[in-house]
Structure 1
């Protein structure tokens, strides 16, 4: 029996039919050469046979009137309640139809009377492809953890045909070890006092930084929450119905820009998104006079620390003031991200986690009271970056060509964007409510903004040389 952290609990408290709180992943595979047309359907039947379900995939949430909710392990899990097979029809089996199906599957809440995960095998894609869509409650895992689990369940070579379904691998061992270390610490009064003191000191330091920025005694030292422009189609009351779109660029091209400008992948990706969002908003008749503010998750785990649940903070980040010059936009965003890095390094992780909970509660209260259309949001959208495996992975010889994390929508935001690097490509995954117009166009603009940045950087370096 495992108690939830406050952050994990928050995902249950905030959950509703209109705003479910699970994270997912879409994996697109190409069947092995000379494999039969029934490869994916046979794979589905094989997966059903792996009925020895390991933690955390055998855990059911238990709510109590007298204490915190707890995870309780089930003696048996009926895989037919968690594994599903879909067959796309010929002529309706392209990327757009796949995304429409995944959007439908991503919308419903997971049934709380059983372990909170599902796997959908989608057969019949064009060009000898099939897909696997997995979703799991955010209280069980964050995006980084789910990607690690997915990688653990796949093979590094096409010749390795052993099946290792992610629910049968046993991800709970590392979590239990980490839990025992935590329990050992809580037995020490000095350890408790030190932890509380560090958290309070960090919160006080963070509050002072916010107060100085709010009083304009510092400039761009830290981004303030709830100052983003709420008069855009990106924010408002989250409603049911989802849509999904993607874009991608070569990592070799991204690394070339990074080398020429001494930037990071985050700098380049956010520059592309900033340009794409401004162009998209301009199409929708919205002209911003201040920078777009994003919410950005940061990983708070120590190096080498694994486990289930969540260990993240979410902080606001101002992007670039409006400009038509991609190179200037890149430099502005680099300056903003350096300030964020200084803030994270100067504040204890527990304080950032507390800050995330406080701002999240305020935003969720506005959402619950139906005030998200009238009150300013924490940010205009949420953008996360999940590093993925650098090389191709395989499932019974089938190459995984693409992997797209699909997240949940935070209170007050109608769009969530996930960056993901895998096998030489940088993917942009966009999940939004049906209320957001022209999501596909925004995905296309991200790719075009990268082309513009690349040209601007090359032009600038030609002038210098």
Structure 2
């Protein structure tokens, strides 16, 4: 029996039919050469034979009126309630039809009476492809953990034909997490009080930083919550119905910009998103006078620490003041992110986690009371970055060509963007409510903004004649 952290519990408290709290991933695979057209259907039938389900895929949530919720393992799992097959029709089997199908699968809440995960095999895609869509409740795992589990279940070569469904793999991290939780429960009262003291000290330091920022004695140490412009299509009351779009650029091109400008991948990616969002908002008749504010998850795990559940904080970051120069935008964002990194490194992780819960509760209360259309949002959108495998992975000889993360929507945000690097490509996954207009146009602008940044950097570094 495993207790949940406060952050994990918060995902259940915040969940509703309009705003489910699961995360997912879309894997697009190429059938092996000379394989049958029924490859995906055969794979689905093979998956159903792996009836031994390992933790945490055999756990259900148990709520109590007198104690914190807990995970409880069950004796058997009916795979027919968790593994599904879909066949796209010929002529309706392109990328947009796939995205529409996955958007529909991503909308419903997971049934809390069962383990909170699903795997969908989608056959019949054009050009000899099929897809796997996986969804799992955010209280069970964060994006980094899900990617690790997926990598554990796939092969590193096309010749490795052994099937290892992610629910059948014994994830050692889950066992270590159980031990850590048990150790935590046996800590002395003095140890608990010491932890509380460190948390309070960190919260005090973070509050002081926010106060200095609010009276303009510091700049970009951390952006204040609830000051983002709420008069944009990006924010408001989250409603049911989802749409999904993607963009991608070659990592070699990203690394070239990083090398020329001494920037990081985050700097470059956020510069592209900032430019794309400003262009998109201009199309929608919105002229922002202040920087776009994003909510940005930060990994609070110590180096080498692994485990189930969530160990993240979410802070607000101002991007660049409006500018038509992509190179200036890159410099502004780099300055902002470096200051934010310094702030995070100076504050205890528990304090960041507490700050995340406090701001999340305020935003969630506004959404539960139907006030998200009238109150300032925590930020304009949420952007996260998940590093993935550098080499191609395979399932029964089929190469996984693309992996797109599909996240959940935070309170007050109609758009969530996740970055994912895999096999030489940087993917941008955009999930939004149906109410957000022209999502595909925004995804196209991301790629165009990267090309503009690339040209701007090349022009700035041309040798003088």
Match of 1:382 in 2: 382
Match of 1:111 in 2: 111
Match of 1:201 in 2: 201
CA–CA separation in structure 1 for the residues paired with 2:208 and 2:74: 46
Match of 2:302 in 1: 302
Match of 2:327 in 1: 327
TM-score by length of 1: 0.99
Match of 1:439 in 2: 439
Match of 2:359 in 1: 359
The worse-fitting range, judged by mean Cα deviation, of 133-142 and 300-309 is: 300-309
Matched position secondary structure for 1:146: helix
1:420-456, CA deviations, whole angstroms, 9 ceiling, x for partnerless residues?
A: 0000000010000000000000000000000000000
Residue 423 (str. 1) matches residue 426 (str. 2): no
After superposition, the CA RMSD in angstroms is 0.9
Match of 1:227 in 2: 227
Residue 180 (str. 1) matches residue 179 (str. 2): yes
Give the C-alpha shift of residue 222 in structure 1.
1.8
1:304-331, CA deviations, whole angstroms, 9 ceiling, x for partnerless residues?
A: 1111110000000000000000000000
CA–CA separation in structure 1 for the residues paired with 2:13 and 2:221: 32
Change beyond 3 A, Cα 1:289–1:11 = same
CA–CA separation in structure 1 for the residues paired with 2:346 and 2:361: 24
1:62-211 to structure 2, matched below 5 A, reads 62-171=62-171, 173-185=172-184, 186-211=186-211
Match of 1:290 in 2: 290
CA–CA separation in structure 1 for the residues paired with 2:181 and 2:80: 36
Give the C-alpha shift of residue 463 in structure 1.
5.2
Unaligned runs of 5+ in 2: none
Give the C-alpha shift of residue 176 in structure 1.
2.9
Residue 49 (str. 1) matches residue 49 (str. 2): yes
Give the C-alpha shift of residue 249 in structure 1.
0.3
Match of 2:35 in 1: 35
Unaligned runs of 5+ in 1: none
| Cα contact 2:407–2:418 (8 A) shared by 1 | yes
Matched position secondary structure for 2:461: helix
Give the C-alpha shift of residue 229 in structure 1.
0.2
Match of 1:345 in 2: 345
CA–CA separation in structure 2 for the residues paired with 1:70 and 1:431: 30
CA–CA separation in structure 2 for the residues paired with 1:221 and 1:121: 45
Matched position secondary structure for 2:27: strand
The worse-fitting range, judged by mean Cα deviation, of 130-139 and 187-196 is: 187-196
Match of 2:399 in 1: 399
CA–CA separation in structure 1 for the residues paired with 2:49 and 2:106: 25
Matched position secondary structure for 2:354: helix
| Cα contact 2:247–2:428 (8 A) shared by 1 | yes
| Cα contact 2:228–2:380 (8 A) shared by 1 | yes
CA–CA separation in structure 2 for the residues paired with 1:298 and 1:203: 16
Matched position secondary structure for 1:135: strand
Residue 408 (str. 1) matches residue 408 (str. 2): yes
Give the C-alpha shift of residue 182 in structure 1.
4.2
CA–CA separation in structure 2 for the residues paired with 1:96 and 1:220: 39
Residue 7 (str. 1) matches residue 7 (str. 2): yes
Match of 2:313 in 1: 313
CA–CA separation in structure 1 for the residues paired with 2:64 and 2:424: 47
Match of 1:248 in 2: 248
| Cα contact 2:55–2:174 (8 A) shared by 1 | no
Matched position secondary structure for 2:210: helix
The worse-fitting range, judged by mean Cα deviation, of 66-75 and 13-22 is: 66-75
Matched position secondary structure for 1:233: coil
Matched position secondary structure for 2:350: helix
Match of 2:271 in 1: 271
Give the C-alpha shift of residue 292 in structure 1.
0.1
CA–CA separation in structure 2 for the residues paired with 1:305 and 1:179: 13
1:160-208, CA deviations, whole angstroms, 9 ceiling, x for partnerless residues?
A: 000000000022x423323323433442333222211111110000000
CA–CA separation in structure 2 for the residues paired with 1:163 and 1:220: 49
CA–CA separation in structure 2 for the residues paired with 1:452 and 1:434: 29
Match of 1:214 in 2: 214
CA–CA separation in structure 1 for the residues paired with 2:401 and 2:224: 39
Give the C-alpha shift of residue 67 in structure 1.
1.3
